[in-house]
């Protein structure tokens, strides 16, 4: 097939001023829309508060209490919705980076050669982890009391027999507490980032020094990372996302979040690879490799649907009040249209778009299907968080929900492109680099 004549040269991405400006503009536009969205919510809340006050005043001629109630509603809803959006986006974009690191480690441990050509792309995406950690910590520290009602319960220190005592929250208090939330979550992410630093340094040293030593070390560190990640990711998901509905829990929840992480990370790797190829870089990344990325996107759309349906059917069949309450607010409220939209965007549409072999090799098909996957899983995270923090009547999709992900996307793209410009796009001395460059799955 002539593959043996391939020559792999050093290739570096140039992060141009125009490219930087586009990322900054996206960030700025997102911030502006978010600010306008905040003022819209504030104005709408004030209008609702005024109407409520007027109705109560006409009914009872006692305006003092209704005014206080309306003012409290207006003051509390806005910060809660803002911090809930911060949690949605800080968690979602962090999943891209952590998933990319998981992708690198998984291929080392699996001894896989096909993905070596896009390894540096995944490494570049994982550079966002420390930025994601900072944004997430800001969200938890300043917005934690708005997001997690169990924090209020912990501060009250209620004992059994006292008014307001909650047996379920008391039973979960050894895990659901401020120490785990404010120390455990940052610690988990910091440990992941330490592994990222180690793997990145070994990867860069491999370029200059060559040999199998760095590959073997990377494999050992990757194996350690995967074990630690399995436990710590589960705890992080329980603390940050599932505890939004603190009285409810699911044994499939972490697996479902893992599916979200992996399918979105692979999609983002695919997008950046297509972008680099469109700019004249990474020409050696063949349609065979893009085909495998497409297969991962296709497979994990199915896996996500499997975990989502398994969780739903088990809870529906058991029909236990403590469990069905989670789906009650999402199925029988203003979230109902989004609930079914979520299923179509994350399973049915990508499944149909990526079913054919040629679709997984076509950049346009991958971009269309991938865009639906990324928007769909943002909606998926939105549905995990918003009903538990705001309830069915208070949540919505407005300029704040449009602007904030745009701002995060602008920051994320800037960080990733900056990281890509700092090293060769090909791991030229990786022992499997030629296998990846000549990769062929056959007809």
**Distances 161 to 154, 164, 165, 166, 173 between C-alpha atoms, Å:** 16, 9, 7, 10, 17
Is residue 256 a part of any domain in this protein?
yes
Is residue 415 a part of any domain in this protein?
yes
Q: Using an 8 Å Cβ cutoff, are 261 and 102 in contact?
A: yes
Q: Whole-angstrom Cα distance, residue 129 to residue 126?
A: 6
Strand partners, 424: 12
Q: Is the pLDDT of residue 74 over 50?
A: no
User: What pLDDT is stored for residue 161 in this prediction?
Assistant: 64
Q: Identify the weakest region by mean pLDDT among 213-222, 228-237, 330-339.
A: 330-339
Q: Is the pLDDT of residue 344 over 70?
A: yes
Q: What is the DSSP string of 324-384?
A: HHHHHHHHSSTTHHHHHHHHIIIIIHHHHHSSSTGGGG-HHHHHHHHHHHHHHHHHHHHHH
Q: Identify the weakest region by mean pLDDT among 74-78, 305-309, 327-331.
A: 74-78
Its pTM stands at 0.91
Confidence label for 76 from pLDDT (cuts 50, 70 and 90): low
Confidence label for 347 from pLDDT (cuts 50, 70 and 90): very high
User: What pLDDT is stored for residue 368 in this prediction?
Assistant: 97
Is residue 443 a part of any domain in this protein?
no
Is residue 66 a part of any domain in this protein?
yes
> For the CA atoms of the chain, what is the radius of gyration?
24
Q: What is the DSSP string of 159-180?
A: -TTSTT--HHHHHHTTTSSHHI
User: What pLDDT is stored for residue 124 in this prediction?
Assistant: 97
* Model pLDDT for residues 26-49, shown as the tens digit of each residue: 999 999 999 999 998 888 766 655
Q: Whole-angstrom Cα distance, residue 363 to residue 368?
A: 9
- Domain residue limits at 75: 10-437
Highest mean pLDDT among 38-42, 105-109, 146-150: 105-109
Strand partners, 12: 424
Q: Is the dihedral of CA 200, 204, 205, 211 positive or negative?
A: positive
Q: Whole-angstrom Cα distance, residue 421 to residue 417?
A: 6
**Average pLDDT value for residue range 273-292:** 95
Please count the other Cβ atoms lying within 10 Å of the Cβ belonging to residue 66.
18
Confidence label for 412 from pLDDT (cuts 50, 70 and 90): very high
Q: What is the DSSP string of 21-90?
A: HHHHHHHHHHHHHHHHHHHHHHHHHHHHHHHHHHHHHHHHS--HHHHHHHHHHHHHHHHHHHHHHHHHHH
Q: Using an 8 Å Cβ cutoff, are 207 and 429 in contact?
A: yes
Q: Whole-angstrom Cα distance, residue 295 to residue 257?
A: 19
Q: Is the pLDDT of residue 281 over 50?
A: yes
Q: Identify the weakest region by mean pLDDT among 49-58, 201-210, 254-263.
A: 49-58
Q: Identify the weakest region by mean pLDDT among 52-56, 105-109, 226-230, 305-309.
A: 52-56
Q: Is the pLDDT of residue 171 over 90?
A: no
Q: Whole-angstrom Cα distance, residue 264 to residue 252?
A: 19
The count of structural domains within the chain is: 1
Is residue 367 a part of any domain in this protein?
yes
Q: Closest by alpha carbon to 100, among 325, 270, 276?
A: 270
**Average pLDDT value for residue range 364-381:** 97
Q: Whole-angstrom Cα distance, residue 49 to residue 30?
A: 28
Q: Is the pLDDT of residue 68 over 60?
A: no
User: What pLDDT is stored for residue 407 in this prediction?
Assistant: 98
Q: Is the pLDDT of residue 155 over 60?
A: yes
DSSP 127: T
User: CB burial class (10 A; 0-12, 13-18, 19+) of residue 422?
Assistant: middle
Is residue 193 a part of any domain in this protein?
yes
**Average pLDDT of the chain?**
89
Q: Is the pLDDT of residue 330 over 80?
A: yes
Q: Is the pLDDT of residue 154 over 90?
A: no
For the record, the structure tokens of 323 come out as 């469990």
Q: Whole-angstrom Cα distance, residue 90 to residue 9?
A: 37
DSSP 426: S
Q: Is the pLDDT of residue 164 over 90?
A: no
Q: Whole-angstrom Cα distance, residue 100 to residue 87?
A: 20
Q: Using an 8 Å Cβ cutoff, are 266 and 300 in contact?
A: yes
Q: Is the pLDDT of residue 414 over 60?
A: yes
Is residue 208 a part of any domain in this protein?
yes
Contacts of 274 (CB under 8 A, 6+ apart): 290, 363, 366, 367
Q: Is the pLDDT of residue 51 over 70?
A: no
Q: Is the dihedral of CA 144, 149, 154, 157 positive or negative?
A: positive
Q: Whole-angstrom Cα distance, residue 281 to residue 19?
A: 15
Is residue 379 a part of any domain in this protein?
yes
The percent of residues in the chain predicted with pLDDT above 70, rounded, is 88
Confidence label for 66 from pLDDT (cuts 50, 70 and 90): very low
Q: Is the pLDDT of residue 54 over 80?
A: no
User: What pLDDT is stored for residue 1 in this prediction?
Assistant: 44
Q: Is the pLDDT of residue 50 over 80?
A: no
Contacts of 252 (CB under 8 A, 6+ apart): 307, 310, 311, 314
Q: Whole-angstrom Cα distance, residue 346 to residue 306?
A: 11
């Amino acid at each position: 097939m002539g593959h043996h004549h391939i020559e792999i040269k050093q290739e570096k991405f140039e992060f141009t001023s125009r490219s930087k400006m586009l990322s900054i503009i996206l960030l700025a536009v997102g911030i502006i829309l978010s600010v306008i969205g905040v003022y819209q919510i504030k104005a709408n809340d004030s209008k609702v508060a005024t109407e409520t006050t007027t109705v109560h005043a006409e009914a009872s001629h006692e305006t003092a209490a209704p005014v206080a109630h309306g003012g409290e509603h207006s003051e509390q809803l806005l910060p809660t919705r803002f911090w809930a959006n911060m949690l949605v986006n800080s968690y979602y974009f962090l999943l891209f980076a952590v998933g990319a690191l998981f992708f690198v480690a998984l291929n080392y441990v699996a001894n896989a050669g096909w993905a070596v050509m896009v390894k540096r792309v995944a490494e570049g995406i994982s550079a966002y982890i420390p930025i994601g950690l900072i944004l997430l910590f800001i969200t938890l520290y300043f917005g934690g009391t708005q997001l997690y009602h169990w924090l209020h319960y912990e501060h009250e220190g209620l004992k059994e027999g006292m008014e307001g005592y909650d047996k379920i929250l008391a039973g979960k208090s050894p895990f659901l507490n401020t120490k785990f939330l404010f120390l455990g979550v940052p610690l988990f992410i910091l440990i992941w980032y330490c592994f990222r630093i180690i793997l990145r340094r070994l990867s860069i040293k491999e370029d200059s020094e060559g040999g199998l030593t760095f590959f073997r070390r990377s494999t050992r560190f990757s194996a350690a990372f995967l074990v630690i990640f399995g436990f710590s990711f589960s705890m992080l998901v329980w603390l940050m996302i599932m505890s939004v509905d603190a009285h409810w829990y699911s044994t499939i929840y972490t697996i479902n979040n893992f599916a979200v992480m992996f399918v979105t990370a692979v999609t983002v790797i695919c997008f950046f690879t297509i972008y680099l190829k469109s700019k004249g870089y990474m020409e050696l990344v063949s349609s065979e490799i893009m085909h495998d990325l497409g297969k991962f996107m296709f497979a994990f759309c199915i896996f996500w649907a499997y975990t989502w349906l398994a969780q739903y059917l088990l809870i529906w069949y058991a029909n236990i009040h403590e469990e069905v309450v989670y789906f009650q607010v999402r199925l029988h409220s203003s979230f109902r249209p989004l609930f079914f939209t979520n299923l179509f965007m994350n399973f049915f549409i990508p499944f149909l778009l990526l079913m054919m072999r040629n679709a997984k090799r076509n950049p346009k098909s991958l971009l269309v299907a991938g865009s639906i996957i990324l928007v769909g899983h943002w909606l998926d995270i939105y549905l995990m968080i918003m009903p538990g923090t705001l309830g069915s009547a208070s949540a919505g999709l407005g300029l704040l929900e449009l602007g904030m992900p745009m701002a995060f996307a602008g920051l994320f793209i800037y960080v990733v492109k900056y990281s890509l410009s700092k090293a060769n796009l090909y791991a030229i001395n990786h022992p499997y680099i030629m296998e990846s460059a000549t990769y062929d799955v056959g007809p």
